[in-house]
C-alpha cells in the first residue's frame, strides 16, 4: 500500500472537488436547456423554468420533428459525419503508416510540413479560392475534402504505428504480404483503440462543423444541422417554422431548446459506447515504446 503525504492527500481532495464543481457547472446549463425543451412557452417567458420543466409539454419536440428542413439538415450532417470520418481515417492511416517508417526518404521534411500546418492555418481567401477552383462550392465535398487529414490526428497515428513491434511487420513480409496487406491485416487490427480515438475527433468535428458550411454552401437544402440551428437561434427562423406548420406557441424559446437537444443527443449516445477505447487510445498514442 502506497502511503501519501498530507500534501498529496490535500491535493487529491482539492483536485476531486475542483473537477466535480467544474463538471456540475458544465452540466447545469445543459440540464436547463433540457428542462426548457419540455416546458411551455409561457413558463419560459415568465422565468419559471430552472432545472426542471414547468408546464410539461411535448409540443416543442412535435414542432421540431415535424419540420422537414430539420430532417434534411440531419441527413446532411449524418452523411458528412459518416462519409467524412471514413475518408479521414482511411487517408490518415495511409499517410501515418508511411511516415512511421524511419527509412522513408524525405520523412523528416514531410513531418515538418505537417507540424507547420498545426502552427500556421491557411488564410481564408486562399482556402476559398482553392475550393472554388476545384469545383466544390455548394457541394457537400467542400465540407469533407479540405480537412481530409488533421495534423494532430496524424501525429497520434504515427506515434501509435511506431509502437507496433517490428517483428510483426517482418513476419507479415516473410509470409508474402505487401505493405498494403500488412497495414490492413496486421497493423489496423492492432490499432483499434487509436482509430477509435481519432475517429471520435473527426466525427465530432464533422457533427459540429459550422464555419466551412457558412463559407462554401449557399443551397438551404445542403445546410448541415449546426447551420440550421444558427438560423433557428440567431436569425429567428423558428417563427417561419411555426408559420409553415400552422402551430401557435406563445414563445419560440422552447422550440430553440428542443432543437439544441435534438442536435446534441447523437453525440451523447455514441460517446459512452467508445469511451473505453477513446481513453486507451489517447494514452497509447502518447507512449513511445
88 falls within a domain: yes
- What single-letter DSSP state applies at residue 121? P
The yes-or-no verdict on residue 191 having pLDDT over 90 is: no
**Which structural domain, as residue segments, surrounds residue 98?**
59-284
143 within domain boundaries: yes
DSSP string, 194-256: HHHHHHHHHHHHHHT--HHHHHH---GGG--HHHHHHHHHTS-THHHHHHHHT---S-SHHHH
Reported as a single tens digit per residue, the pLDDT across 64-76 is 888 788 888 889 9
pLDDT tens digit sequence for 110-162: 888 888 888 888 788 888 899 899 989 989 999 999 889 888 889 888 888 88
| Within-domain flag for 147 | yes
Find, among 260, 234, 207, 206, the residue nearest to 37 by Cα. 260
Rounded to whole angstroms, the Cα distance separating 283 from 262 reads 32
pLDDT of residue 287: 45
Find out whether 269 and 207 touch, Cβ atoms under 8 Å: no
Residue 117 is assigned to a structural domain of this protein: yes
279 within some domain? yes
Q: Which of 6-10, 131-135, 264-268 has the highest mean pLDDT?
A: 131-135
The fraction of the chain above a pLDDT of 90, given in percent, is: 11
Looking at residue 183, the DSSP 8-state letter turns out to be I
Report d(CA 26, CA 151) in Å as an integer: 29
Q: Is the pLDDT of residue 79 over 90?
A: yes
139: which 3 cell numbers? 457541394
Considering the domain boundaries, does residue 51 fall inside one?
no
Asked if residue 246 belongs to a domain, the reply is yes
pLDDT of residue 1: 54
CATH of residue 198? 1.10.3720.10
Number of structural domains, the chain? 1
Q: Write the Ramachandran bin of 5: left for phi over 0, alpha for psi from -120 to 50, otherwise beta.
A: beta
Alpha carbons 107 and 114: distance in angstroms, whole number: 11
The total of other beta-carbon atoms located within 10 Å of residue 117's CB is: 14
**CA nearest neighbour of 228 among 99, 36, 69:** 69
SS3 assignment, position 1? coil
DSSP state at residue 138: T
In a domain, 17, yes or no: no
What residues contact residue 229 under an 8 Å CB cut-off, 6+ apart?
Answer: 259, 260, 263
Distance of alpha carbon 164 from alpha carbon 172, whole angstroms: 13
Which pLDDT value is given to residue 85? Answer: 93
Q: Range with the lowest mean pLDDT among 51-65, 201-215, 244-258, 275-289?
A: 275-289
- Quick one: pLDDT at residue 88? 94
* pLDDT score, position 269: 78
For helices 192-207 and 151-163, the axis angle rounded to 10 degrees is 170
- pLDDT level of residue 18 (50, 70, 90 thresholds): very high
Amino acid at each position: 500500500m502506497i502511503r501519501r503525504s498530507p500534501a498529496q492527500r490535500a491535493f487529491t481532495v482539492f483536485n476531486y472537488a475542483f473537477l466535480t464543481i467544474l463538471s456540475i457547472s458544465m452540466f447545469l446549463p445543459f440540464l436547463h436547456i433540457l428542462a426548457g425543451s419540455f416546458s411551455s412557452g409561457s413558463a419560459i417567458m415568465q422565468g419559471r423554468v430552472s432545472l426542471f420543466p414547468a408546464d410539461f409539454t411535448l409540443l416543442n419536440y412535435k414542432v421540431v420533428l415535424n419540420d422537414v428542413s430539420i430532417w434534411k439538415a440531419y441527413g446532411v450532417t449524418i452523411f458528412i459525419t459518416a462519409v467524412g470520418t471514413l475518408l479521414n481515417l482511411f487517408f490518415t492511416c495511409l499517410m501515418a503508416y508511411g511516415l512511421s517508417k524511419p527509412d522513408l526518404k524525405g520523412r523528416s521534411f514531410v513531418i515538418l510540413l505537417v507540424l507547420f500546418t498545426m502552427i500556421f492555418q491557411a488564410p481564408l481567401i486562399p482556402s476559398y479560392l482553392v475550393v472554388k477552383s476545384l469545383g466544390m462550392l455548394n457541394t457537400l465535398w467542400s465540407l469533407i475534402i479540405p480537412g481530409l487529414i488533421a495534423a494532430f490526428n496524424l501525429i497520434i497515428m504515427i506515434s501509435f504505428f511506431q509502437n507496433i513491434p517490428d517483428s510483426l511487420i517482418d513476419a507479415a513480409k516473410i509470409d508474402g504480404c505487401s505493405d498494403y496487406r500488412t497495414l490492413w491485416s496486421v497493423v489496423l487490427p492492432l490499432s483499434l483503440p487509436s482509430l477509435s480515438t481519432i475517429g471520435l475527433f473527426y466525427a465530432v468535428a464533422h457533427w459540429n462543423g459550422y464555419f466551412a458550411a457558412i463559407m462554401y454552401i449557399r443551397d438551404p437544402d445542403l445546410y448541415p444541422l449546426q447551420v440550421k440551428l444558427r438560423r433557428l437561434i440567431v436569425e429567428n427562423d423558428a417563427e417561419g417554422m411555426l408559420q409553415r406548420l400552422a402551430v401557435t406557441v406563445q414563445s419560440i424559446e422552447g422550440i430553440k431548446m428542443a432543437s439544441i437537444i435534438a442536435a446534441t443527443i447523437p453525440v451523447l449516445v455514441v460517446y459512452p459506447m467508445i469511451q473505453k477505447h477513446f481513453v486507451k487510445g489517447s494514452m497509447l498514442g502518447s507512449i513511445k515504446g
